[in-house]
Amino acid sequence: MTHLLLALALFGNLPDGLSPSDAVEMAQNVEFLGAVVPVEVGLGGKIKIDLYYKVDQPLDPKILSFVHLESRESKCRLVQDRKPPPPKAGVIHHQITITVPAKGDCKAGRLELYTGLYNRQTRERLRVLRPPGLADRIYAGYLTLTDSAASDDREAFSPGDMAFEETLSLFRPWWGYFFGWLLAILLAIVLRRYARHFDEAPVVVWRPEKARTRRAVATAGAIIIGVPLLLSILVGLDFIKDDAYISFRYCQNLAAGEGMVFNAGEHVEGFTNFLWVLLLTPFEALDLDLFQVTEILGTALMVGLIVFMTRTVILSQGAGRDLSYLWAGVWIATSSSVALWATSGMEQPLAMFLPVASAYLLWRNWQDEDPPQAFASGVLMGLGCLTRPEVHLIGVILGLPLDPKY
């Protein structure tokens, strides 16, 4: 009878769409029952959030409730911590209001709602037990920021509703990339199957007979590519991405004999660029400025990228008197994003150079049937995979045409 009365009291304190049987289990016998949030909020408006927790006793006075509103489309992030009110009939109904800045990082788009509890004295979050939450945060709902008139509708999100939605939210920013990779793989398969049916025109590589003319052509090519490359590098030379500090810190500890750790004694792999960290560590051991080292390395790798990309164009399309085979090198040299990331201190220039060099050697071996070049191609692609995990996908795309089935 007591349990029945308690269940009726819980139902009476919950809005439509939430149920005591649908909950996230947390430590200290706390259960998160869901949230009610507005469907839309205008920029400069107020977000009124209702959170519901089930408890069997009042929370420790040191426990605070936190709310994180984050956008995966912009840098917008709104945070608020508040002490939850005492429970009524076993339910904590916590109301929080957050004001959205009218200007700044918050733009029209979707905001993801994360919440949880933490001890303000120890700074430790209350464990999210079942289903487990990343960093002990609960994905509680979402809303839309709009730069036009917002509706007054509100929506209740139960934990059951958000279980699958949380997985989708993690992959949503990458859908475009996944679609691009799928399209590239399908294109590789189609080209491999049907390109053999077309008559291939012989590749003609023009080479001047006179040494003086060859020097003039080489000089012209260097100027056509080198001038925009130099200007692009100079414009972004002072840009250092803050994430580069992570790699630099691992290099510092590795050179000091502490191992590949961010903090001595804490064995956490907080990097995704293993080869880049190894490459920079000797320079750190020599007490060189890694900012300057990465700028020089990045520029050199960008030059190597242009060289191999130009050679790939010549390999597939030939080289004529009009120097049109330089189009790929010019495109890279004038790319602001390539130049910016080449000197950012990050691993992007190495991650670009290695797959392109591998592809060139692979395709050249296809024509010359040179086993050492094929081996070198595989080594370069393997090194690329050690630089960035995404390079595995590039290796798959390059390797598909080698399968006789395709």
* DSSP letters spanning 13-33: TS-TT--TTS-EEEGGGEEEE
pTM: 0.56
Specify if 170 maps to a domain: no
Find tokens 């190597």 and name the residue: 304
List pLDDT tens digits, range 232-285: 888 877 777 888 889 999 999 999 998 888 888 888 888 889 999 999 999 999
List pLDDT tens digits, range 31-69: 999 999 999 999 999 999 999 999 999 999 999 999 999
135 and 255 fall within a common domain: no
| 3-state SS assignment for residue 312 | helix
Contact status, residue 148 vs residue 44, Cβ threshold 8 Å: no
252 and 110 fall within a common domain: no
Where a domain ends, among 165, 191, 207? Answer: 165
157 and 180 fall within a common domain: no
- Structural domain for 10, as ranges: 2-165
pLDDT in single tens digits along all 406 residues of the chain: 444 434 444 545 689 999 999 999 999 999 999 999 999 999 999 999 999 999 999 999 999 999 999 998 888 999 999 999 999 989 999 999 999 998 888 999 999 999 999 999 999 999 999 888 778 999 999 999 999 889 999 999 999 888 777 777 767 767 777 887 788 788 877 776 766 555 556 677 778 888 888 888 888 888 988 898 898 888 877 777 888 889 999 999 999 998 888 888 888 888 889 999 999 999 999 999 998 999 999 999 999 999 999 998 888 888 878 888 888 889 999 888 888 888 888 999 999 999 999 989 888 877 666 677 788 888 999 999 999 998 998 888 877 766 554 4
What is the domain count for the chain? Answer: 2
Please report the sign of the dihedral spanned by the C-alpha atoms of residue 115, residue 121, residue 124, residue 127: negative
The secondary structure element, H or E, covering residue 156 is strand 154-157
100 and 188 fall within a common domain: no
Specify if 298 maps to a domain: yes
Tell me the residue length of the chain: 406
| 3-state SS assignment for residue 119 | strand
121 and 236 fall within a common domain: no
Please report the sign of the dihedral spanned by the C-alpha atoms of residue 31, residue 36, residue 42, residue 46: negative
Specify if 150 maps to a domain: yes
Specify if 235 maps to a domain: yes
Residue 207: CB partners within 8 Å, gap ≥ 6?
A: 214, 319
Side chain identity at 51, as an amino acid letter? L
